[in-house]
Amino acid sequence: MKIGVLSIQGAVSEHLSHIARCDVEAVPVKTKEILCEVSGLVIPGGESTTIGKLIEISGLAAPIRERAHSGTLALFGTCAGLVLLAQEVLDGTKNQPKLELMNTRVKRNAFGRQRESFETKLEVKGFTSPLVGVFIRAPIIVEAGEDVEELARLPEGIVAARQGNLLAVSFHPELTDDRRMHQLFVEMCKVI
């Protein structure tokens, strides 16, 4: 099994390292040909508008949507990736590019600017001990459909959620040594 990391922007090497440490082949994804080879795709943090435009330009957006809808591709969106997965972005730009796959409404930069970045312990559903979440200009899920399972929450809203073959988090799990979120995603990919 191969799991890819969208290699357009963000902490690509860190995600690749975490996936590889979960005993799975990790590959950078920049083309449709490589996308066809993976069971799962991590969409890393970065700038959601830029990433969205670049996946449209590169021709990756349509095959990502098609495979996600057909259940042949699992997706893991972190930070900006969460924004891209959402059906609705409340404070997006005009013509905000997004994949519109997850039944969520999100707010970008929900915790403020870069200087308001923080780390906090999170209780994640299914984990036996807290996970440290690194929040950098992080989005938040302000509303989720009944088919979306809430995995973690802060007072401001949902910061980790799952819907079928989709996993989304507001924080950056690749920036800690804790691989449990990546391992959860690997387990999701095994049933694809």
The two counts, helices (H) then strands (E), for the chain are 6, 12
Contact between 37 and 2 under an 8 Å Cβ cutoff? The reply is: yes
Per the CB < 8 A criterion, the answer to whether 33 and 5 are in contact is no
Coil/strand/helix, residue 113? coil
Q: Are 164 and 173 in contact (CB under 8 A)?
A: no
Active site residues: 79, 172, 174
Q: How far is CA 12 from CA 136, 143, 144, in A?
A: 16, 28, 27
